Structure 1
Amino acid sequence: MTVIGLGYLGAVHAAAMAELGFEVLGLDVLPHKVELLAAGKAPVYEPGLEELLRKHVAGLPGSTGRLSFTTSYAEVAAFGDVHFVCVNTPQKPGEYACDMSYVDAAVDALAPHLTRPALVVGKSTVPVGSAARLARRVAELAPAGEAAELAWNPEFLREGFAVEDTLRPDRIVVGVTSERAERVLRQVYAGPVGEGSPFVVADLPTAELVKTAANAFLSTKISFINAMAEICEAADGDVVKLAEALGYDDRIGRKFLRAGIGFGGGCLPKDIRAFMARAGELGAAEALTFLREIDSLNMRRRARMVELTRETLDGSLLGKRIAVLGAAFKPDSDDVRDSPALNIAGQLHLQGAEVTVYDPKAAENARRVFPTLRYAPSALDAAQGAHAVLHLTEWREFRDLDPAALGEVVSTRHLLDGRNTLDPALWRKANWSYRALGRPTA
């Protein structure tokens, strides 16, 4: 099989497919990314990925040799029976809609080389209706004609757990138009299915919708508990206790009920916006009007964290030194796309604060986005002389910080917990003022 597009999704998928026993050829149009992967180095930080690369990349000592890389579409077409398309689908600049240009370019480049029966499998998150259009395009451009089929197999990866999610997925969804395509994909995923992963067969539009609907639901659940945090602040309630009590209801569950600065990353924000845009194109805009408020509420949390910091520092950010713990949008990732943590750090800086950021893995990516911020090699270095410390990405090492030791290097002991994962009693015992969204101040 082949994997086209070797970013976050593609690199993980290629390595995991090699782990499942397949001969895999990965393609990317960026030569430096291909060279990096061919050396067994991951283009992104993802736990377990580099170990898989070193285990399978051809030419590395002791590897299985099942995984190799190229920039040639002709080589990919000659090599593969199944071609996974894993390219990016970002938000269009100035619009809510999804930018399909990378997917279209990949299909247009691959299809003319398909001279024998093949299955092209989309994994990228796309607007519903895209797969049917692309299926027609593949059949039109491929010398093999209708023997070159298209199916859709959305990904449900969680950054930080992507390798595990690929090898042992909680479900496998395939959108197909023929028994042959279903049979091929059952062979591809025979290992995970044999270990108990459900295999859901659907039509093309339903398979596309599963991914966008899942992200819309998760976004809604996160923003719901953040809306409750706003109510708790107004009523002097505790959103953490509220979430705990709600979580015992098995119809609701505990996951995604942690109030804080909201969601970010390369999926949820742009996917719910693209979903709204596509619903409008289909004449069903009213069905998703609630997502506009979900998006608005999510972005409002970032502004509220900035305001909470200002309140803590006696009404002014000008000249105040602030340590920001975290730049990635979530822990166990170096992804800073639409990161609430980095957005808040940038807002504080633009409003006159001297901001120093520490993140265990995402500092270099953050520096490329916000080069005017200061970056430190450790939490203690970031906190030197700080008037406030903001906890904005819930890395495990931040939960393990010693409040007394950190207190020795700051100017004033103000902690603002943007993720509601630190222990207020522990920090207050060390004479820190502890503030968090949706929680009592005392």
Structure 2
Amino acid sequence: MALKITVIGTGYLGATHAAAMAELGFEVLGLDVVPEKIEMLQRGEVPMYEPGLEDLLRRHVAGLEGSSGRLRFTTDFPEVAAFGDVHFLCVNTPQKHGEYACDMSYVESALASLAPHLRGPALVVGKSTVPVGSADRLAAYLAEHAPAGGDAELAWNPEFLREGFAVRDTLHPDRIVVGVRSERAEKLLREVYATPVEEGSPFVVTDFPTAELVKTSANSFLATKISFINAMAEVCEAADGDVAKLAEAIGYDDRIGRKFLRAGIGFGGGCLPKDIRAFMARAGELGADQALTFLREIDSINMRQRGRMVELTRQALGGGPFLGKRVAVLGATFKPDSDDVRDSPALNVAGQVHLQGAQVTVYDPKGMDNARRLFPTLGYADSALEAVRGADVVLHLTEWREFRELDPQVLGEAVSAKVVLDGRNALDPEVWRKAGWTYRAMGRPTA
């Protein structure tokens, strides 16, 4: 008999996972405790922008014309427990307020709501990013509180989704990692992921702690690489070097690689910053804090880039106060192909410049509504051309394709001064200079 799958938590991770599981041919029931979110998903709408996700959802949500009908949603835990063979926990694990540590309350609450209703064999699979050691504790809780006892098992299967590529990353993952304690759990997860495994996705079987560490280790390595090239940008600024050429040269070394070596205003979003901080906090609890002291500097370099961009903007405006100056900001999201503005370096820079007296106008292709909610006092425009009108300086802070394809000649006719600061090293300096612009990028004082 075909496996039935449930997905608990239908935010960014859960909605994507539920739609992808339906695409792989499973009957899926998604659960959330927010009725408005469930109503939205039942209409085939997603509460965030993610390329391809809404189309995928509409192909499978029951009741929609032409759908497979394999995907339904509910707010009822007993219904979920009775329906599913495999239950995926996809709830949020944010940073605790005022601390580096991870807030596990949503995971614990989801498990506490599900466990009492598990009366027969079931596999509960954690996908949320959690501190190492959590799975051990949650497995013990499950065995104690599920009527099925030991037949209600736990496994850990970390997610590796990149915003903007989430659908592809779920359907065609570059690796599948499962932390299991029994052959039965491994067998069930091999069944769930049979299609991507057949297509060549590596299937890595580990214990609980290793599975938990894979995600935080991967994010820490990525953050280290980004902050490394940003540290080199600081050195290039001091030494009159060109960090873009430096990155190109070292990127040809296949031990290093070219990915994530573009210097700029640093990383943000809902994962990387909070994950490396939670990793540091957990290492401290385990008595291994010295092993991760370098992450404190990685975090520091990353945050410093935002202040450096503000100072670069001040220099471009003559070095004096921002009062009375008009600043255009292209980009509000923390990365392109997303509407996510959580811990966005772009919005952070825009906010700092605004607080220091400048009149700031922001434009982003997808993040405007979220940006307005977070920073209602900033100015917002409906297009890049409208945002730069009358500007004394233009800041390029999120590397959307739309911005790379802008015509600097047309923009030049709208601004007060043709000065562009490229906070992502993604624009073509020659194209902008030919159109009469002063182009400046971080880590490239002489470029």
TM range (shorter): over 0.9
Query: Deviation of residue 369 (structure 1)?
Result: 0.5
Query: Deviation of residue 267 (structure 1)?
Result: 0.5
TM-score, normalised with respect to structure 1: 0.99
**Distance in 2 between residues matched to 1:356 and 1:329, nearest whole Å:** 17
Q: Which one of the candidate residues 31, 52, 62 is aligned to 1:58?
A: 62
Query: Deviation of residue 201 (structure 1)?
Result: 0.0
Paired residues, number: 442
Q: Which one of the candidate residues 270, 283, 286 is aligned to 1:266?
A: 270
Say which SS state the counterpart of residue 328 (structure 1) adopts.
Answer: coil
**Distance in 2 between residues matched to 1:308 and 1:337, nearest whole Å:** 23
Paired position in structure 2 for 1:429: 434
User: Does 1:292 find its partner at 2:296?
Assistant: yes
Paired position in structure 1 for 2:418: 413
Mind listing any 5+ residue stretches in structure 2 that lack a counterpart?
none
**Distance in 2 between residues matched to 1:4 and 1:334, nearest whole Å:** 23
Paired position in structure 1 for 2:210: 206
Matches within 5 A, 1:248-263: 248-263=252-267
The answer as to whether partners of 2:242 and 2:446 remain within 8 angstroms in 1 is: no
**Distance in 1 between residues matched to 2:437 and 2:429, nearest whole Å:** 9
Paired position in structure 1 for 2:381: 376
**Distance in 2 between residues matched to 1:61 and 1:245, nearest whole Å:** 53
- Give the letter for the 1:438 counterpart: G
Say which SS state the counterpart of residue 381 (structure 1) adopts.
Answer: helix
Matches within 5 A, 1:148-297: 148-297=152-301
**Distance in 2 between residues matched to 1:174 and 1:186, nearest whole Å:** 9
Paired position in structure 2 for 1:137: 141
Paired position in structure 2 for 1:100: 104
Cα RMSD after superposing both structures:
0.6
User: Does 1:330 find its partner at 2:335?
Assistant: yes
Query: Deviation of residue 441 (structure 1)?
Result: 4.1
Partner deviation per Cα, 1:142-197 (whole Å, 9 max, x = no partner) = 00001000000000011000000000000000000000000000000000000000
Query: Deviation of residue 59 (structure 1)?
Result: 0.2
Matches within 5 A, 1:296-315: 296-315=300-319
Mind listing any 5+ residue stretches in structure 1 that lack a counterpart?
none
Query: Deviation of residue 11 (structure 1)?
Result: 0.5
- Give the letter for the 1:232 counterpart: C
The answer as to whether partners of 2:11 and 2:91 remain within 8 angstroms in 1 is: yes
**Distance in 2 between residues matched to 1:81 and 1:375, nearest whole Å:** 48
**Distance in 2 between residues matched to 1:94 and 1:221, nearest whole Å:** 27
User: Does 1:47 find its partner at 2:46?
Assistant: no
Paired position in structure 2 for 1:391: 396
Query: Deviation of residue 318 (structure 1)?
Result: 1.2
Partner deviation per Cα, 1:328-378 (whole Å, 9 max, x = no partner) = 100000000100001111101101011111011010001110011111110
**Distance in 2 between residues matched to 1:92 and 1:159, nearest whole Å:** 22
Query: Deviation of residue 317 (structure 1)?
Result: 1.2
Q: Which one of the candidate residues 6, 13, 19 is aligned to 1:15?
A: 19
Say which SS state the counterpart of residue 317 (structure 1) adopts.
Answer: coil
User: Does 1:339 find its partner at 2:344?
Assistant: yes
Q: Which one of the candidate residues 126, 136, 140 is aligned to 1:122?
A: 126
User: Does 1:78 find its partner at 2:62?
Assistant: no
The answer as to whether partners of 1:434 and 1:441 remain within 8 angstroms in 2 is: no
Shift >6 Å, 4+ stretches: none
Query: Deviation of residue 222 (structure 1)?
Result: 0.2
Say which SS state the counterpart of residue 56 (structure 1) adopts.
Answer: coil
TM-score, normalised with respect to structure 2: 0.98
Say which SS state the counterpart of residue 382 (structure 1) adopts.
Answer: helix
**Distance in 2 between residues matched to 1:178 and 1:171, nearest whole Å:** 20
Identity %: 79
Partner deviation per Cα, 1:72-91 (whole Å, 9 max, x = no partner) = 11111011000000000000
**Distance in 1 between residues matched to 2:446 and 2:406, nearest whole Å:** 21
**Distance in 1 between residues matched to 2:7 and 2:348, nearest whole Å:** 33
